[in-house]
Amino acid sequence: MASQRKFFVGGNWKMNGNKASIDGIIQFLNAGPLDPNTEVVVSPPAIYMEYVRGKLDQKIGVAGQNCYKVEKGAFTGDISANMIKDIGCEWVILGHSERRNVFGESDQLIGEKVKYALSQGLKVIACIGEKIEEREAGKTEEVVYRQMQAIVDNVAPDQWANVVVAYEPVWAIGTGKTATPAQAQEVHQKLRAWVAKKVSEPVANSLRIVYGGSVSAANCKELGGQSDIDGSLVGGASLKPDFVQIVNATQ
């Protein structure tokens, strides 16, 4: 089934970069070569999105790292889906573990953001994942299903083609602990079965579920080879030329 889903690799730059370092990233991305069978999207800090969009090969998508749930208003320091679209970008990352756990965003708020972004024609990378204490307490499924439910409740049946789900176990992000490809595959498989039950079989079969959490040039091939892992959402490694190898993981 995985072969029918286009492999997807996202690069989340987080709060990193300046024009000089970004020029270097744009250079290695434009030089590639990037696997034409992989969809690639990078996510610079908001103030560099337009700069990146102007210099990056059009085949590569550009995403916001977050946006709010309404078009405009008195929300100092935030940006809207409409602004992301206005500068020629078409993706946004929502519900990243750092937004949930550092900035306290709730499942409900993330669901509302997903709904609004999709309504404005943005494509969404929706992130879910459990913390170390949750995994150790055997609550992985409970947590990811709860987070997914808040997303599912806000996606219309005809909008699923514009959603990529990123499973990012928080305990595998910068902790030295990594999920094995088998551990990651197990959660992806359960998520897909859950989506089949809660949404529909066709959506479950076509939905891209990508893995995030210490993805590197060393482990990307094995991760990408798992039947329910449709790509990756990459943090630190997306700032380095190694990212090209991660994009080309299935070649």
Say which of 39, 96, 98, 134 is annotated catalytic: 96
Query: CATH number, domain at 181?
Result: 3.20.20.70
For residue 168, indicate whether it is catalytic. Answer: yes
CA distance 69 to 106: 13
φ and ψ at residue 102, rounded to 5 degrees = -90, -40
Query: How are beta strands 91-94 and 61-64 bridged, if at all?
Result: parallel
In this predicted model, what pLDDT tens digit does every residue of 139-152 receive, in sequence order?
Answer: 999 999 999 999 99
In this predicted model, what pLDDT tens digit does every residue of 170-208 receive, in sequence order?
Answer: 988 766 677 899 999 999 999 999 999 999 999 999 999
- Average of pLDDT values for 212-223? 92
108: its two tokens: 């409900």
CA distance 173 to 167: 11
Structural domain of residue 224, as residue ranges?
A: 2-247
- Average of pLDDT values for 243-250? 97
| C-alpha pair distances (Å), 58 with each of 7, 26, 242 | 18, 12, 21
For residue 96, indicate whether it is catalytic. Answer: yes
pLDDT for res 176: 64
pLDDT for res 1: 44
The percentage of residues in the chain with a pLDDT greater than 90, rounded to a whole number, is: 94
CA distance 211 to 225: 12
Least confident window among 18-22, 163-167, 175-179: 175-179
Count of structural domains, the chain: 1
Whether 65 and 45 have beta carbons less than 8 Å apart is answered as: yes
Is pLDDT of 100 > 70? yes
In this predicted model, what pLDDT tens digit does every residue of 34-89 receive, in sequence order?
Answer: 999 999 999 999 999 999 999 999 999 999 999 999 999 999 999 999 999 999 99
Name which of 74, 208, 47, 165 is nearest 64 in CA terms: 47
221: its two tokens: 């091939």
Say which of 98, 112, 168, 188 is annotated catalytic: 168
| C-alpha pair distances (Å), 168 with each of 71, 74, 143, 149, 233 | 28, 32, 12, 16, 8
